[in-house]
Amino acid sequence: MKWKNQIVNLHAYQPGKSIDEVKKMYNLKEIFKLASNENPYGFSEKVKKVLEEDATSTFSYYPDGYATNLREEAAKFLGVKPTQLIFSNGTDELLQIISKALLEPGKNTVMACPTFSQYKHNAIMEGAEVREIPLVDGNHDLDNMLKALDHQTAIVWLCSPNNPTGTYITNDKLMNFLQQVPKDILIVLDEAYYEYVDADDYYDALSLIDKYPNLIVTRTFSKIYGLASFRVGYGIASEEIISALEPVRQPFNTNVLAQKVASEALKDQEFVSQCAALNKKELERYYDFCQKHNLHYYQSQGNFILIDFQCDGDDVFTFLLSKGYIVRSGKQLGFPTSIRVTIGTSEQNSGVIDAMKAFLEKQAIKN
């Protein structure tokens, strides 16, 4: 078989153990998944209603490939033209569409490291050179990212808030960066956790789109909207960028129910604000825990926290798993002595914090 050289060493996405497997393994009644930054409060009641009412929908037809209703709702909500939007099967697919449209052997792409894994994965698939610029204190090193750009650079990726650190790019730093990136390089600003942000010096990405026709902002319904399993992401950019990307998108990439629930979810901004407020309050409990136990962490503008236990992250992960909490070991995220925990409900967080305390006590006895 004539596989592309670049995919030979790529690994398939490794799904974690299923909830049933973990239950059986540790003889547990209840398992909490706090590994993929989903919304622990579920989704809006308005969405529930649509799902109940829509049980008799005709699924034998293809969905509206242009997602017209969702597009109109989103355009209204965001204050942009419908033609400035592209919808995708999760942001994951949009990141892939962007890579397919711009990357190929001979070109390069610049990103922070560690950051969201799919930027690199897609670039490798397209055979482009990947230039990873280490984070400094958990933050994008924008000066060195600028220095890494050259005539062959096609895309520069910004993740703000950054997964897995939760850190964000400030308004001043972003402005300075945008002004210096050559106009023929696409800047992708991934704002998957945008709705959680409350930092005063955060920028308003949408207001930058007119000024920077080489900027695309990506957002998702998978995080605060609580619709991860429906797979809806979207991009907001100039009409020129959108019309260049559209032919790369599969014609029916978002399904009929997904389009419906996403447009309904947008109408319940009260749910969004409530989730953001609860997340903030619960994050504080993790900060307190880390401070009390002298554990390094990053202040997070997302719904997750990266905590450094100064030991093998897999050991912390396995211990928490045995107590019924599935988190992410930092080993797969570029922080081998850390874990990343999605902020859960108050009850779940109490459980994780107790389990982390128990881990530290066990470590203390061992040492």
Residues that bind ligand PLP (CB under 6 A): 37, 90-92, 116, 159, 163, 190, 192, 220, 222, 228, 233
> 94 or 289, CB closer to ligand PLP?
94
Q: Nearer to ligand PLP by C-beta: 108 or 220?
A: 220
Q: Are 249 and 67 in contact (CB under 8 A)?
A: no
CB of 292 to ligand PLP, least distance (A): 28
Residue 35 Cβ vs ligand PLP, minimum distance, rounded to whole Å: 10
- Nearer CB in complex with ligand PLP: 84/222: 222
Q: How far apart are CA 30 and CA 53, in angstroms?
A: 31
Residue closest to ligand PLP, measured at CB: 90
Residue whose CB is less far from ligand PLP, 111 or 209: 111
Supply the minimum distance, in Å, between the C-beta of residue 141 and ligand PLP.
Answer: 18
Task: Starting at the earlier edge strand, list the strands of the sheet with 153-159.
Answer: 85-88, 233-237, 215-220, 186-190, 153-159, 108-113, 129-134
Interior CA angle at 192 toward 190 and 198, to 5°?
105
Report the nearest approach of ligand PLP to the CB of residue 184 (Å).
Answer: 24
Distance (Å) of CA 57 to CA 67, 199, 210, 260: 16, 42, 39, 11
Residue closer to ligand PLP, measured from CB, 188 or 321: 188
Structure tokens at 294: 């002298």
CB of 54 to ligand PLP, least distance (A): 22
Characterise 42 by phi-psi region: left (phi > 0), alpha (psi -120 to 50), beta (else): left
Q: What token pair was written down for 170?
A: 């400030």
Least distance CB 102 / ligand PLP (angstroms): 18
For ligand PLP, the closer of residues 91 and 108 by Cβ is 91
Cα separations in angstroms, 231 against 29, 44, 254, 265, 315: 29, 16, 7, 13, 32
